[in-house]
Amino acid sequence: MASYSTNEFKGGLKIMLDGDPCSIIENEFVKPGKGQAFNRVKIRNLKTGRVLEKTFKSGESVEGADVHETDMQYLYNDGEFWYFMDPESFEQVSADSAAVSESSKWLKEQDLCMVTLWNGTPIIVEPPKFVVLSVSDTDPGLKGDTSGSGGKPATLETGAVVRVPLFVQIGESIKVDTRTGEYVSRAKDE
């Protein structure tokens, strides 16, 4: 993998830090008129998601990280791993629970997800921004009450729980915004 000098630092550049792949968020050049120049860098650790700061001597080089993002189709979960397929090459990869993390509750078979690969292995799985999932359980007794104060909880086919309006019933499909975890609308039957 190529290495990058501090002069190549910019937002989005992927580098290796302490053995983990990281993405540069911000890069600030600090230099006294007479004296050592520094690059003060804000970095996201792509494995843990944590943001950290790091100070480099200007001109130093850092190893690049072989990280790229690609759209992949979610196939299935075997209890331990989640399997994804590149829709063009049909190549499959398996993601562990650390990579899938909170996204697991939105994953529906066939959906296209954004998968971040490091050396070919998934480290981040992002679900589609909107998913359509069917309601597997919700309190039916509230039908008819349309005053709609706060809605009610509904459990979806993937196990996610979202608040839905009172009129939503078991077996219906709804559209959910995965970034906020909020109900958007009822989905037309496909």
Site residues for other proteins per CB under 8 A = 7, 28-38, 40-41, 52-59
Number of C-alpha atoms within 13 angstroms, CB side, residue 74? 25
Q: Considering the complex, state which of residue 62 and residue 160 has its C-beta at the smaller distance from other proteins.
A: 62
What is the closest distance, in whole angstroms, from the C-beta atom of residue 3 to other proteins in the complex? 15
Rounded Cα distance, 179 and 190, in Å: 23
Rounded Cα distance, 41 and 22, in Å: 11
Q: Considering the complex, state which of residue 48 and residue 121 has its C-beta at the smaller distance from other proteins.
A: 48
Is the CB of residue 42 less than 8 Å from the CB of residue 26?
yes
What is the closest distance, in whole angstroms, from the C-beta atom of residue 12 to other proteins in the complex? 17
What is the closest distance, in whole angstroms, from the C-beta atom of residue 61 to other proteins in the complex? 12
What is the closest distance, in whole angstroms, from the C-beta atom of residue 34 to other proteins in the complex? 5
Q: Considering the complex, state which of residue 10 and residue 163 has its C-beta at the smaller distance from other proteins.
A: 10
Closest C-alpha to 129, from 105, 150, 113, 152:
113
Q: Considering the complex, state which of residue 55 and residue 92 has its C-beta at the smaller distance from other proteins.
A: 55
Number of C-alpha atoms within 13 angstroms, CB side, residue 105? 13
Is the CB of residue 93 less than 8 Å from the CB of residue 121?
yes
What is the closest distance, in whole angstroms, from the C-beta atom of residue 67 to other proteins in the complex? 20
Is the CB of residue 9 less than 8 Å from the CB of residue 41?
yes
Is the CB of residue 111 less than 8 Å from the CB of residue 129?
no
